[in-house]
Structure formats: C-alpha cells, structure tokens
Chains A and B, each alone.
Chain A
Amino acid sequence: MWNWEYAFKILPEILTALKITVSATFVAFAVALVVGLMLTLARRSNFKPLSLFAGGFVGFVRSTPLLVQLYFIFYVLPEYGLSLTPFVAGVIGLGLHYSTYLAEVYRGGIESIPPGQWEAAKALNFSTLNTWKKIILPQSIPPVIPVMGNYLITMFKETPILSAITLVEIMQTAKMLGSHSFRYLEAFTIVGVLFLVLSYSSSLMVRRLEVRLNLR
C-alpha cells in the first residue's frame, strides 16, 4: 500500500514540475484578463457584427470542453502552418477558455456602475476612451477582484488538463513516475494533496481580501 520511502523519493521531482504548473497558470490568467476585457467591450459595441461575434464566441467556448479546445489548438493549427509548443498551446487554450468566464465578471462590474456616472462623464465632455479609462473601469474592476482571484484558483486547478497535450507539468510528471514504477498511488496522492493545500489556502486569502474590500 502506501510507501513513505518512495513518496519522499519522488516528492522533489513533483515539486520541480510545480514551477511549470504555476507559470502556465499565471500566463494563462494574463491572457484571460486581456481577452476577457476585449470580449466584454466587443459585446457592448454598437457595431452589430462585432457584438454578435463576441456573444457567439463566449457561448460556444463556454459550452464546449476545454480538453477538446486544447486538441483543436494543438492538432488543427499546425495544419495551417502554425505549430505551437505544448506550453504556448496550453496557455492560449486555458486563457481563451477562461476569458469567456472573466468577460462575465467584467460585465457584472461594469453594469453595477450607476448611470449617473455615464451621464456625468458625458456632461463633462469626456471622450469615449477617457470615460472608460478614467471613470468606468477604475470603479468597476476593484469590486470584482475577489471573483477574479477565484478564477485564478480555478485555472490553477485545471492546469493538469494541459498534460493531455504533452505539457510536462505536475500531473504529467506524476503519470510518468507512476508508469515507471507501476505505483500510481503515491504520485497521484501527492499531486492531489498539493493542489488541495495550495488552492484551499489561496481561497482563504481571497475570502479575507473580500472582507477587507467590503469594509472600505
């Protein structure tokens, strides 16, 4: 059954792979933040084709599996001469998938701005760009930061899927260790416990952040 000696032997290798997992999470989150904002703005656009496209994109991406989207990026794009490394394909896939969720978060923040703010900006002759940059976004983003934090944690937990397109992150390392020794128990349990500890402690941090933001 459980073998402590073996568990301690493989622990360093799993911890090294954690670096790839964490960097993939943050790069993908950055992609999601940028694309998510663009999707929200595109959906609000007066130019009908653009808003329809953004709405359709969000609906389609949200109702199809991330795994299949990753396969699509990793296996279909090379057909058209665009070969991506597993890391790049992975962060694009994960980032695009969660950008559709973050688009909803931005939307919630923007819609909570009282109409008076828009009217005041118009009365003060602000340009559209300045209205967004100086009035709307600075007020709509801080309240939704905890929600974004929760999505960061969700994305962190989802990174094992990237092992399906051969990215050697923590889960792929565990799989390889397991297939070498025919012992999956220790490797997979360590991975599970690592994810649990890291995601649970960061969700407690987000909860504290939420309380502090509410106090202000």
Chain B
Amino acid sequence: MWFDILPSFWEGTKITIELTLFSAVIAFFLAFAAGFGRLSKFRAVRLLAATYVEIFRGTSLFVQLFWIYFALPLFGIMLPKMVAGVLALSLNAGAYGSEIVRSTIISVPKGQTEAAIALNMTPWQRTRLVILPQALVMMLPAFGNLIIELLKGTALVSLITLSDLTFVATVLNSSIMRPTEIFSVLLIIYFVISLPFTKGIQWIEHRLSAGRY
C-alpha cells in the first residue's frame, strides 16, 4: 500500500512547500509596505494601510480564499487556483506581518532616532542604518512563527481543489478508505516540514537572549 501512496504524497508536499515559499516572499514585502505605511506621516497612506490590515485580520483566511476564488469571477476576474491560493495566503500573512514590522519599529528606543537626527542623517539613512538593523533582529522569531502559520494555512487551498498535500490525502482516503494511516502520515509530514522553522526560531531566540541577563 505504501508504495502506491507515497509518490502522490511527495507530489502534494512539493505543492505545499511551493505555496508556502511563494506566499512567504510576497507576504514579507507586503508586511514591510503596510507596516511602514501605518507609520507614514501622510494620513492617506496610514488610512490605506490600516484598512488593508484590518480587513485581512478581521476575517479568516478561509473566507478570503473563497471570496477570491468564487466571488471575484463575478467581476470578470478569473484566477487560476495556484494564483488565488498564493494571493489569499500572502495578503493574509502580509497583514499579520505588518503588525510585526510596525511593533518592532516602534519598540526601537526613541534615543536612537534622536541620535541619528543629531548626527545629521537623512530620514532614509536613519531607517536603513540605525532603525532597521535593530528592528530586523527582533522581527526574526515572529516572522518564523508567521511562516509556520502560513504553512498551516496552505492546507485550506485543498478546499478550492488545488492538489496540495491535504487534497492528495483526502482523495486517497476516498479511494482506499484507510483514514488512520493516511491522516497520521499527513499530520507527521506537516510536522516535519515545520521542524526546521521551529528549531530555527528556538536557535535565534536563544542567540538573542544570550548575554541579556
């Protein structure tokens, strides 16, 4: 039995990992755009960024995915499954990520900005050379957790029949009817994919706390 099902699990795993990586990259950019947008001095930009964040944090990924895949076509926008999946996942994760960006940037002590101003740095130099290097380090563990949430979120694309890991498992289950084996293996595969991220976060947190106490 295992010889028959493992290859299809492997195909599904590839789709799941692709989805996670593509969405993570786009979400990363969205997170910075929206995070900085919310700290902008222009009211319109702040409002726009806040609207984006509140809409995508106020509803669940499930609703967003279904809306993008089933409701958008009525406006004449028909997206392939993969694009709809990546779009929903990255917009959702980007909204959560923007809160990480915003909160870590605020948490850089005010004296740092003041010192940079006193040293006659331009706003761009201030951000690039003083604020970001300190904020980025603090963001890392939170972004790691976000990637795990993203990986877990990819399971939902199976419901719009994109053939990811979970979809492959449900199809196999309906043909060979061995739920115990199939769903146990499925859970274990997700756990294994997430392991490098969990371990990475632990390592970074350990490194960051070294010498702090």
Q: Enumerate chain A interface residues (CB-CB to B < 8 A).
A: 1, 59-60, 62-69, 71-72, 75-76, 79, 157-158, 160-161, 164, 171, 175, 178, 183-185, 188-189, 191-192, 195-196, 199-200, 203
Contacts and interface: CB of A to CB of B under 8 A. Distances in A.
Contacts of B156: 65, 67, 161
B70 A188 contact: yes
Nearest to A62: B148
Contacts of B194: 63-64
Nearest to B198: A63
Interface in B166-203: 166, 169-170, 173, 179-180, 183-184, 186-187, 190-191, 194-195, 198
6 contacts: A60-B187, A71-B169, A79-B180, A160-B62, A195-B63, A196-B58
Chain B binding surface SS class: helix
Given A63-B148, A64-B190, A64-B191, A184 B173 contact: no
B59 interface: yes
7 cross-chain pairs, A with B, having the tightest CB-CB distances, nearest first: A65-B155, A63-B194, A184-B70, A75-B179, A196-B58, A157-B60, A185-B74
Interface residues of B, number: 38
Contact of A196 (B55, B151, B187): B55
B155 A188 contact: no
Q: Which of A63, A67, A178, A189 is the most central at the interface, judged by chain B CB atoms within 10 Å of its CB?
A: A63
Contact of A76 (B153, B155, B179, B191): B179
B166 A67 contact: yes
A69 B187 contact: yes
A192 B155 contact: no
A198 B195 CA distance: 35
Nearest to A199: B58
Contacts of B74: 1, 183-185
Contact of A188 (B67, B151, B159, B179): B67
Contact of A185 (B71, B184, B186, B195): B71
Given A60-B191, A161-B156, A188-B67, 8 more contacts: A1-B74, A66-B155, A67-B159, A68-B187, A157-B58, A157-B63, A188-B66, A188-B70
Interface of B: 54-55, 58-60, 62-64, 66-67, 70-71, 74-75, 148, 151-156, 158-159, 166, 169-170, 173, 179-180, 183-184, 186-187, 190-191, 194-195, 198
